[in-house]
């Protein structure tokens, strides 16, 4: 069988490379297609095409025209919705339910939201007194940064790629994007959509490849990149920071997490169980916002653990295409090895396994895939590695607390600070605890309820800067102040 090849998109053309790598389906370990791997020369061509495009029609387009083109991209995603859903499911093994209700609709929505935002954005203006009494007028003008390098992860491929692309394009930048090597398909489809929508050549360039000594590193260390926006592991963030340091450029980082959930004794019990199960196991625990540490008031502990166990065991782990599947496989064998190494470590550290801890058996081709069981553990100390380190799989550690102060201290005892969830029916407590959380995003009585205008990002090792609404546009545009003496 001849496998199809996913190409780069450089200067408005789809191009191959002499080197290629395999794209593997984690459901059964089979090869889906081959992917071109960009070398240094191709990365340079993409960067130079983007630089050139800044001087072309894109640079002189009105905001209205740019916004109209971005709406066409959103239309294009929606017109090929089923292809995008299928591509995302093939690359990641995520469920049909998730790909069709979250990933792909959000991919289109990202373009619409930021296209509309730039159309209505205002700017600052100050009347300034001067000694001659005539005054001066100051106003600020947002200008694109130039060529933006976009590096995306594999967990929500189209959603997170477009979360960066849409505001960066809306602000007038040109792009060189690199999707994760694990998930090249939906990004390639997006390049086709951009092409069909009439985005001028060079404005959006897509290169495929890996991180170190490959396309990712060539891109982030390129002298002609004006800014880097990256979502991925904290460790990769620090490698990118080092690569970017020589040429000094703005960085936007959305990094890892070890998110806590706190369940108080006055919580709506069923809602807290339901929400915590969702926050631990959505996308196989492979969402940066997922809960990996659960702190439950001691009066509820046993009951809560039992109820969460029941939820975990009731989840349907199965074919992504089945409408009732809750959880698919992990993204890859490499990632499964990492997650299973933490399951093993948890046992070595003395954890009690409430449920899971192993690999499901299907008796069919899925036994060659990258599956793991949803897992709940208890009994570890706060300094156990499984409680400290991001695992990024369907596993959570549950422990108890007695006082509110203790719960806050436990939740904040992490080098990460991305998200937190608080479950209480006492709204004053909800506010009080939320403001003490050392995290960028705090949910009270819910989880992953998103409004695209709100600040999104983390503190500590979970990131630098904020995305979302005006926060994204502030990163992707640099205001220049114009002062006119009257
Ligand atoms: P990763 O850091 O391994 O890879 C992310 C991207 O960076 C990929 O495209 C990869 O090829 C590239 N890359 C790797 N090394 C590089 C290098 N040296 N130079 C340039 N590029 C390089 O992350 P991942 O495994 O794809 O994603 C999972 C991680 O992402 C988790 O830690 C998760 O918490 C985090 N994440 C964070 C957010 C957030 O919003 N904070 C969202 C999603 C995922």
pLDDT at 1: 52
What is the rounded distance in angstroms from the CA atom of residue 456 to the CA atom of residue 439?
Answer: 10
* CA quadruple 210, 100, 260, 430: dihedral sign: positive
By the 8 A CB rule, do 385 and 345 touch?
yes
pLDDT in tens, 70-101: 999 999 999 999 999 999 999 999 999 999 99
Which residue puts its alpha carbon closest to atom 8 of ligand 1? 180
Average pLDDT on 358-382 reads: 98
pLDDT at 415: 98
pLDDT in tens, 205-257: 999 999 999 999 999 999 999 999 999 999 999 999 999 999 999 999 999 99
Lateral strand order in the sheet of 251-254: 13-15, 8-10, 204-206, 174-178, 147-151, 227-231, 251-254, 463-464
* CA quadruple 385, 351, 357, 377: dihedral sign: negative
Average pLDDT on 365-374 reads: 98
Which residue puts its alpha carbon closest to atom 20 of ligand 1? 216
pLDDT of residue 147 exceeding 60: yes
Atom of ligand 1 nearest to the CA of 288: 34
**259-451 is classed in which CATH architecture?**
3-Layer(aba) Sandwich (3.40)
What is the rounded distance in angstroms from the CA atom of residue 365 to the CA atom of residue 264?
Answer: 43
DSSP H stretches of helix in 299-400: 301-314, 333-348, 385-388
133 close to ligand 1 (CB < 6 Angstrom): no
Mean pLDDT of the chain: 97
Of 109, 193, 206, 117, residue with least CA distance to 159? 109
417 close to ligand 1 (CB < 6 Angstrom): no
The pTM of the full predicted model, rounded to 2 decimals, is 0.97
Which residue puts its alpha carbon closest to atom 17 of ligand 1? 211
Atom of ligand 1 nearest to the CA of 182: 26
Q: How many CB atoms lie within 10 A of CB 482?
A: 12
Per CATH, 5-255+462-485 and 259-451 having the same topology is answered: no
The CA 236 to ligand 1 mean position distance, Å, reads 6
475 close to ligand 1 (CB < 6 Angstrom): no
Question: What share of the chain has pLDDT > 90, as a percent?
Answer: 99
- ipTM for the assembly: 0.97
The CA 323 to ligand 1 mean position distance, Å, reads 29
152 close to ligand 1 (CB < 6 Angstrom): yes
pLDDT of residue 162 exceeding 90: yes
Q: How far apart are the first and last CA of the chain?
A: 73
Which residues have a Cβ under 8 Å from the Cβ of 393 and sit 6 or more positions away?
Answer: 284, 285, 286, 330, 335, 338, 339, 342, 372, 375
The CA 234 to ligand 1 mean position distance, Å, reads 8
Q: Domain ranges in the chain?
A: 5-255+462-485, 259-451
pLDDT in tens, 270-323: 999 999 999 999 999 999 999 999 999 999 999 999 999 999 999 999 999 999
Question: What share of the chain has pLDDT > 70, as a percent?
Answer: 100
Q: Could you identify the residue written with the tokens 């990258």?
A: 370
Q: How many CB atoms lie within 10 A of CB 115?
A: 24
pLDDT at 469: 96
236 close to ligand 1 (CB < 6 Angstrom): yes
Three-state secondary structure along 463-486? EECCECHHHHHHHHEEEEEEEEEC
Radius of gyration of the chain (CA): 23
What is the rounded distance in angstroms from the CA atom of residue 321 to the CA atom of residue 204?
Answer: 31
What is the rounded distance in angstroms from the CA atom of residue 376 to the CA atom of residue 354?
Answer: 5
By the 8 A CB rule, do 259 and 395 touch?
no
pLDDT range class, residue 124, cuts 50, 70, 90: very high
pLDDT at 200: 98
212, 281, 420, 178 alpha-carbon torsion, rounded to 10°: 30
292 close to ligand 1 (CB < 6 Angstrom): no
Homologous superfamily assigned to 5-255+462-485: Aldehyde Dehydrogenase; Chain A, domain 1 (3.40.605.10)
pLDDT range class, residue 3, cuts 50, 70, 90: confident
pLDDT at 299: 98
What is the rounded distance in angstroms from the CA atom of residue 409 to the CA atom of residue 437?
Answer: 9
Question: Which DSSP string corresponds to 169-223?
Answer: HHTT-EEEEE--TT--HHHHHHHHHHHHHTPPTTTEEE----STTSHHHHHHT-T
Of 230, 254, 256, 255, residue with least CA distance to 243? 230
Atom of ligand 1 nearest to the CA of 467: 40
| Active-site amino acid positions | 254
Enter the DSSP assignment of 285.
Answer: G
Average pLDDT on 424-446 reads: 98
255 close to ligand 1 (CB < 6 Angstrom): yes
pLDDT at 198: 98
Which residue puts its alpha carbon closest to atom 18 of ligand 1? 212
Among 1-5, 161-165, 350-354, 460-464, the range scoring the smallest mean pLDDT is 1-5
The CA 230 to ligand 1 mean position distance, Å, reads 7
465 close to ligand 1 (CB < 6 Angstrom): no
The CA 63 to ligand 1 mean position distance, Å, reads 32
What is the rounded distance in angstroms from the CA atom of residue 309 to the CA atom of residue 301?
Answer: 12
Which residue puts its alpha carbon closest to atom 16 of ligand 1? 211
The CA 393 to ligand 1 mean position distance, Å, reads 15
Average pLDDT on 119-126 reads: 92
pLDDT at 411: 98
pLDDT at 87: 97
pLDDT at 211: 98
């Amino acid at each position: 069988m001849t496998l199809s090849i996913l190409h780069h998109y450089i200067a408005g053309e789809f191009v191959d490379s002499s080197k290629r790598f395999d794209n593997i389906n984690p459901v059964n370990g089979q090869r889906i297609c081959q992917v071109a791997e960009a070398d240094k020369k191709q990365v340079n061509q993409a960067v130079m095409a983007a630089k050139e495009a800044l001087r072309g029609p894109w640079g002189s387009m009105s905001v209205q025209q740019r916004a109209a083109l971005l709406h066409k991209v959103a239309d294009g995603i929606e017109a090929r919705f089923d292809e995008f859903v299928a591509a995302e499911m093939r690359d990641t093994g995520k469920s049909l339910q998730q790909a069709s209700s979250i990933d792909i609709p959000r991919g289109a929505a990202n373009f619409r939201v930021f296209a509309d935002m730039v159309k209505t954005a205002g700017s600052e203006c100050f009347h300034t007194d001067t000694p001659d009494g005539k005054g001066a007028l100051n106003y600020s003008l947002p200008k694109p940064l130039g060529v933006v390098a976009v590096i995306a992860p594999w967990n929500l491929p189209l959603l997170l790629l477009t979360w960066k692309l849409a505001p960066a394009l809306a602000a007038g930048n040109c792009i060189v994007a690199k999707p994760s090597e694990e998930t090249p398909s939906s990004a390639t489809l997006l390049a086709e959509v951009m092409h069909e929508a009439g985005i001028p050549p060079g404005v959006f360039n897509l290169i495929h490849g890996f991180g170190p000594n490959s396309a990712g590193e060539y891109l982030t260390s390129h002298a002609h990149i004006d800014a880097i926006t990256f979502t991925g592991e904290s460790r990769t963030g620090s490698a990118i920071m080092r690569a970017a340091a020589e040429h000094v450029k703005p960085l936007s980082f959305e990094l890892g997490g070890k998110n806590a959930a706190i369940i108080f004794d006055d919580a709506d019990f069923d809602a807290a169980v339901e929400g915590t199960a969702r926050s631990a196991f959505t996308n196989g625990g492979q969402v940066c916002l997922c809960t990996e540490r659960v702190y439950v008031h001691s009066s509820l502990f046993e009951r809560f653990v039992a109820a969460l166990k029941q939820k975990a065991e009731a989840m349907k782990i199965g074919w992504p295409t089945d409408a009732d599947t809750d959880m698919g496989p992990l993204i890859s064998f490499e990632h499964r090895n990492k997650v299973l190494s933490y399951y093993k470590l948890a046992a070595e550290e003395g954890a009690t396994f409430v449920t899971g801890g192993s690999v499901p058996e299907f008796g069919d081709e899925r036994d060659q895939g990258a599956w793991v069981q949803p897992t709940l553990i208890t009994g570890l100390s706060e300094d156990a590695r499984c409680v400290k380190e991001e695992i990024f799989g369907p596993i959570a550690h549950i422990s108890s607390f007695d006082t509110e102060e203790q719960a806050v201290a436990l939740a904040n005892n992490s080098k990460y600070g991305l998200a937190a969830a608080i479950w209480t029916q006492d709204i004053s407590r909800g506010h009080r605890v939320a403001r003490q959380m050392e995290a960028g995003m705090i949910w009270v009585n819910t989880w992953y309820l998103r409004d695209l205008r709100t600040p999104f990002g983390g503190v500590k090792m979970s990131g630098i800067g904020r995305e979302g609404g005006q926060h994204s546009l502030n990163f992707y545009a640099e205001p220049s102040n114009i002062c006119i003496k009257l």
